Amino acid sequence: MVIDVGAGILLALWGMNHFAIPFTASWIALGIFAALFPDLDTLTRFLPRGNIIRRVIGEHRGLLHRPLFYTIIFPFVFFALGRAIGTLFALGILYHLIHDTFFLGWGIKWLWPFSQKSLSLFHDKDGRLTKEILWWGPEEDERIESTYRTDHWVRAFYFTVNPISISEYGALIIALIVLAIHLHFIF
């Protein structure tokens, strides 16, 4: 989550240079929004059970975490919003799906709908990263969850010094420094 904000800022800055877009806060916000976009599915649980949006998107790590879904909608985004926004949106989401494949993410169904298997690399166990490559189907969801679930994971990873918190906060700090340099706040 923290690293997503940093990644969104860096992608937006790259997009500004690449597409010669003048700096605006809304462009930076768009980069952050794109990098966080798949996690909007966490909000579906606040909708009534029979709600059409909830039924189509599903729960967290549902449709918005399926790579092939985006290959279908990206052409429409590019057509409707243009190449610069389309590229930023695509890169933000691609980054998010790759990030969710590692460590804290609960894996991504990269081959959906042709396969229901999720891929997770170096997932944590009891608050420590493993070297394991997990590739499992829905029938094993419960076993994977009970084996690798970390209760209080926010505290375990974000409020202690560990490789995850160092890389997450480090990426955000680097992004903010690059942003400050770009705005000539420093140097």
Query: Interface with Zn ion by CB under 5 A: which residues?
Result: 38-39, 100
Amino acid at 100: D
Minimum Å gap between C-beta 115 and Zn ion is 19
Q: How far is the CB of 35 from Zn ion (least distance, A)?
A: 10
Q: How far is the CB of 148 from Zn ion (least distance, A)?
A: 16
Q: Which lies closer to Zn ion via its Cβ, residue 39 or residue 178?
A: 39
Q: How far is the CB of 26 from Zn ion (least distance, A)?
A: 23
CA angle (121, 168, 84) in 5-degree steps = 90
CA angle at residue 57 from 53 to 58, to 5 degrees? 105
> What is the C-alpha to C-alpha distance for residues 62 and 155, in angstroms, rounded to an integer?
25
Phi, psi of 135 (to 5 degrees): -140, 95
For Zn ion, give the closer residue by CB, 100 or 124: 100
Which of 15/105 has CB closer to Zn ion?
Answer: 105
Residue number with CB closer to Zn ion (15 or 38): 38
Helix, strand, coil content of the chain in percent (nearest 5): 65, 5, 30
**Tokens, residue 137:** 């189907």
Contact 100, 38 (CB under 8 A): yes
> CB of 24: closest distance to Zn ion in angstroms?
26
Closest to Zn ion by CB, 98 vs 179, is: 98
> Helix H segments across 20-82?
25-36, 52-57, 67-81
Nearest CA among 67, 96, 64, 90 for reference residue 77: 90
Closer CB to Zn ion, 100 or 168, in the complex: 100
Bridge partners, residue 133, by sequence: 121
Taking the complex as a whole, the smallest distance from the CB of residue 41 to Zn ion amounts, in Å, to 8
